[in-house]
Structure 1
Amino acid sequence: MTNPHHGFNYIELPSTSNAAMKKFYGTVFGWTFQDWGDTYVAIHGSAVEGGFDQASDRNPSADGPLVVIFSNDLDATKSAVLAAGGDVSVDTYSFPGGQRFHFKDPSGNELAVWTPA
């Protein structure tokens, strides 16, 4: 994988339960994971490298960076988020480039999902 200069390289989410995070993100987005010890999990299949850090001194928060995930079918993704136990924190809304909604994962991190107009 080539890392573009000044491009997104890695997204790390604080976790209160790596098992719950893997189940949620695996169910909703089909991502796979690799455990690195007892407290760290690498994310595979999300287009940007990332991980869940259960040992972090950072707490999950809606105040951190907003990670936005692309979807070809916003309604299906929203249904999958809800079915997997996620909470929609901002319902679907339109903006000039498309539509998006926000959700909270099992650890309380807030992310968004968007689709073009």
Structure 2
Amino acid sequence: MSVTKLPIDYIEFTAPKLEETQAFFAAAFGWEFVDYGPDYRDIQGAGTGGGLERGAARAPLIVLRADDLEAALAQVRTAGAEITHDIFAFLGGRRFEFLAPGGIAMAVWTS
């Protein structure tokens, strides 16, 4: 079976103090933001796509991009991942989330 390469496309951060974290990222790194409601910011100017979500602090979520989301889900499942959120729609596209063996949380999305 041929494995389709999925590039890292986006990194999501969570922070309980969204506004303070946003201000820090702007001051420390020069990043800019697009607001998507009270609990989510799209990070601009970071060199790769990123987002900042209000929530309990956790390790950043690495998000990969796929042209064929269903095929990517099958590939990830076959490789041994635990699917934590099956394919769902969100503003901008669709994605699924999983835990790689060893516990690393990741996601795959498509527009």
- Give the alignment's TM-score, normalised by structure 1: 0.47
The higher radius of gyration belongs to 2
Name the one with the larger strand percent: 2
- Give the alignment's TM-score, normalised by structure 2: 0.50
